[in-house]
Amino acid sequence: MLAIRTGDTGVVSDSTIFYTHTDEAPALATASFLPIVKAFASAADVNIETRDISLAGRILAAFADQLPAEQKVADALAELGQLAKTPEANIIKLPNISASIPQLKAAIAELQALGFALPEYPDEATTDAERDARARYDKVKGSAVNPVLREGNSDRRAPLSVKAYARKHPHVNKPFAAGSKTRVATMGANDFFSNEKSVVMGGDDVLTIRHIAADGSTTELKTGLKVLAGEIVDATFLSADALDAFLAKTIAEAKADDVLYSVHLKATMMKVSDPIIFGHVVKAFFADVFAKYGTELAAAGLSANDGLGSILAGLENVANGAEIEAAFNAALAQGPRVSYVNSDKGITNLHVPSDVIVDASMPALIRNGGKLWGADGSEDDTLAVIPDSSYAGVYQATIDDVIANGPLDPATIGSVPNVGLMAQAAEEYGSHDKTFEIKSAGRVEVVNSAGEVLMVHEVNQGDIWRATQTKDEPVRDWVKLAVTRARATNVPAIFWLDEARAHDAQIIAKVKQYLGEHDTTGLTIEIMAPAAATKYSLERIRRGLDTISVTGNVLRDYNTDLFPILEVGTSAKMLSIVPLLNGGGLFETGAGGSAPKHVQQFLEENYLRWDSLGEFFALAASLEHLAITTGNAKAKVLADTLDRATGTFLEQDRSPGRKIGTIDNRGSHFYLGLYWAQELAAQTEDAELAGKFAELAQTLTDGEATIVAELNAVQGKPVDIGGYYRPDVNLVEKALRPSATLNAAIASL
């Protein structure tokens, strides 16, 4: 929810690294770390350029033509998207907000308060102006950034130094209690998995998606959908009636079992489908309330899709709002106990759709012995509701393994690195341009330019229908990357694909074809359904062995949180490299699921617990890539010394502490800078660099106590940065760079 703006006007060259300014805790951390990066990089003739792809920045760019000149913002995301298709691309991407509608609306309100004349987000667009505004906002919400920048597939793994640290300083994975009632509930029928159909295009074409109602009237849902030869096109739907019946059943089961009720979705990446599903959950849980007051809530513009929190906040403008709020509170008391995101603040699992992101919430549940938190803050067993059954089995298989064999021991276990298919928006499910809530009963058809119906589904009102695309070139590159990693590590590579799923069956055929293009002699490369692959990988990990998970886009997201959280305590410490298809490099810095909580703590206590370790790894990989592609030997020295400095950083345990009084994120940056300067001063590959950094290394060494004292002195009281989504740049810099001694030392370089 936090974004930092910059005014960089540096000269872009082949020796330029593009650093993204994003949102929330990563953006705060950047304000502290980037001045150090720029100073060190300049000594090696490496230029650092920043581009604002924050939620606020993207909103303003979307309406640039309607804003006065002094408020116009360039479309940095589009610029970086074009850059990502070039060989010289070198982009460091920090986690950004994948905005749910409540987040989007909050950002709009904040920008309006700052004087930007932006339209409201129209829930129902009825005029041309509203339809235009809705279309612009729809390009911003959800996972809008990643499909643009990810012009390559993903190579994500825990660096050896991180694994070594985790083994030496293991975190605790709690055991499940005897007789634990925690389990996953999923539909298994009439959902996206079971209703999926898939085709491979025989040639380039332009498709149309149309809805034919029961009375024969036709509505074109999507036209001009360009596809390429060999491209996989999928279509599926989730039945609203089946979903409602499933939810009613799980609510009754949670009440009968006396466990916490929690839903786990992906309302950010699946920015149309999953907020609708979340709304169904809210309506099911508060069925009596909506039966009695649903008309009044709808008239007030209060939608279950936005969550209970949004509804409760809007009741002050409803005539009988107090009565309705009392009804919601009574339903909470009478229904099954619901899990809480923040019991101190009364934020339930049903408050905000973006608070219950499955890839972060489920690993946290498993790590915590199958328990989430109730209204009073106590822990209890949980019914984890994941409606679509496509990947729910991965989490149930993990729960079954931990119950049977005990918690994973970070001191001894192996690793599950990931090779993920994501290039050119592969498998972007639930995205706004091809996902629809069906308005009336009938059928949805996917039709080619010759008028032939490629896929058809009989649908009812309220069903959620979606299509997705996966181009052939990314699949071929994905297979190549998997073989390359298996060969480099001599580790089994498992393709997590289910032949019983229509899309996966098409992918499996391509995998088998493209594996034939590589020498796989001596390698273990297999194809397994996700639940079976989970069991196989966990069996190996318990023996201290590594197994590469080769997955599609969504499972890439899930696996690169699930296994790192169990292995090393967090997904923020992963090395994430995206070799771009045209030769450039995208370097990602870890997941941002915990970012909002860190911002909240920072604003209340001026203590930023965010760990930038993933950023250190990404920067080193970026510098190394630049050295290789430009021949800049000094950049290679920077990369090598940063790697060694990061090793010292881990060995000395300089990550942020948990409590006030220890170093936070700003202190971590100081120590990384100190160790990096020391390594540069001591290295013998480049005498000029050694000379440049000798004085800085000495200054930082001598000033350590003073700098740490200055950084820690600001802790313990609230801090004002002028906003969440678009805070004041000067206030942010003042808050994140409180050590005059450190600032002067960096400036001297």
Give the separation between CA 584 and CA 288, rounded to whole angstroms.
55
Listed in order, strand segments (DSSP E) in 392-501 are: 418-420, 435-437, 442-447, 453-459, 464-470, 493-496
Q: pLDDT higher for 356 or 561?
A: 561
Domain extent at residue 58? 1-151+580-731
Does any domain span residue 630?
yes
Task: Kindly report, residue by residue over 428-458, the tens digit of the pLDDT.
Answer: 876 778 999 999 999 999 999 999 999 999 9
Model confidence band, residue 12 (pLDDT cutoffs 50, 70, 90): very low
pLDDT confidence of residue 97: 87
Give the separation between CA 624 and CA 642, rounded to whole angstroms.
10
Per-residue pLDDT, averaged over 227-256, amounts to 98
SS3 652: coil
Does any domain span residue 517?
no
SS3 472: helix
Model confidence band, residue 123 (pLDDT cutoffs 50, 70, 90): confident
Q: Which residues contact 631 (CB under 8 A, 6 or more apart)?
A: none
pLDDT confidence of residue 10: 41
Task: Kindly report, residue by residue over 131-153, the tens digit of the pLDDT.
Answer: 999 999 988 987 788 888 889 99
Does any domain span residue 127?
yes
Does any domain span residue 225?
no
pLDDT confidence of residue 161: 86
> Is residue 494 within 8 Å of 529, Cβ to Cβ?
no
pLDDT confidence of residue 594: 61
Does any domain span residue 564?
no
Q: What is the mean pLDDT of the chain?
A: 94
Does any domain span residue 474?
no
Model confidence band, residue 591 (pLDDT cutoffs 50, 70, 90): low
pLDDT confidence of residue 294: 95
Q: What share of the chain is helix, strand, coil (3-state, %, to 5)?
A: 45, 15, 35
Per-residue pLDDT, averaged over 364-390, amounts to 97
Indicate if the pLDDT at residue 7 is higher than 60.
no
pLDDT confidence of residue 355: 85
Indicate if the pLDDT at residue 583 is higher than 70.
yes
Query: Domain tally for the chain?
Result: 1
pLDDT confidence of residue 46: 96
Does any domain span residue 200?
no
Per-residue pLDDT, averaged over 118-130, amounts to 93
> Is residue 276 within 8 Å of 266, Cβ to Cβ?
no
Does any domain span residue 321?
no
CA angle 414, 574, 546 (to 5 degrees): 20
Of 27-31, 93-97, 741-745, which gets the smallest average pLDDT?
93-97
Question: In percent, how much of the chain has pLDDT > 90?
Answer: 87
pLDDT confidence of residue 592: 59
